[in-house]
Amino acid sequence: MGDMERGRARYGEGAADRLLAALSGLGSDLGRYGVAFNFGEIYSRPGLDLKQRQIASIASLVDIGGVEPQLTGHINAGLTVGLIPEEIVEVIIHCVQYAGFPRAINALTVAKKVFEQRGVA
């Protein structure tokens, strides 16, 4: 379970909390899979550094759309691993080519809310 701890650190606390909240009661296995698979496996892998992984995660969530809680979590996680607000915004702007304007604009709104809550940017 050392992997899970390492993965959790890399995953970012914002997003991790949501998964962990799913760990109690019915369906707790989904939280457990998220922790073990996402933290313990994916985020613990070498090959990409922490910032690169959060770039890929934020891009994914902008493109999928309708997953604001996870986008909030991963923007927080991005800041935690050292992405600066300008880089996170740049990922969102970059994705307008693929996700279209509505999803990109909505993601920017989420990002600004996170920055404000953390008092950055």
List interacting residues with its own copies (CB under 8 A): 18-19, 22, 25-27, 29-31, 33-34, 37-38, 41-42, 45, 47-48, 52-53, 55-67, 69-70, 85-87, 89-106, 108-109, 111-112, 115, 121
Query: For residues 12 and 47, is the Cβ–Cβ distance under 8 A?
Result: no
- Rounded to the nearest whole angstrom, what is the least distance from the CB of residue 21 to its own copies in the complex? 9
Of residues 1 and 102, the one with the C-beta less far from its own copies? 102
Minimal distance in Å, beta carbon 7 to its own copies?
Answer: 12
CB of 64 to its own copies, least distance (A): 6
Sign of CA dihedral 69, 61, 108, 56: positive
Element containing residue 37 per DSSP (H, E)? none
Q: Alpha carbon of 108 to those of 2, 13, 102: distances in Å?
A: 35, 21, 10
